[in-house]
Amino acid sequence: MNYGSKRTVVGAHYGIRDWLAQRVTAALMVLFTIVVLAQLIFAQGEIGYELWAGIFAAQWMKFVTFGVIIALVWHVWVGVRDVWMDYVQSVGLRLTLQVFTIVWLVGCAGWAFQVLWRL
């Protein structure tokens, strides 16, 4: 009999890594939201296209925004993947839904890149 540290543990081992990823990405999104809201609150004049374009005109803001979009994509992937793994019993359907989710999220990130850099 072999007990203790040599015991083999099976499973996906996502636990703490995904829990931490959800918290870190959520914190990044909250900080970004606070920064954008602060810029809107302390802005002079009318809130319109010019103000929004001005906020996102700086190159550093584009990079920060895209970083937050990547964090959002990761946050969504972890959450949706867990829903598919928990509630979809058919392996084929679950794989199909996961692939569709990945394609959709990559497409959304690509679209966000195009919007930010006007490609």
Binding-site residue numbers for heme are 75
| Helix boundaries (H) for the chain | 15-41, 49-55, 59-87, 91-117
Binding residues for a ubiquinone: 87
39, 55 contact by CB (below 8 A)? yes
Binding residues: 75, 87
CA-to-CA distance for 25 and 71, rounded, in angstroms? 5
Could you tell me which of 87, 73, 60, 66 has the C-alpha nearest to residue 25? 73
97, 84 contact by CB (below 8 A)? yes
Q: Which amino acid is at 64?
A: V
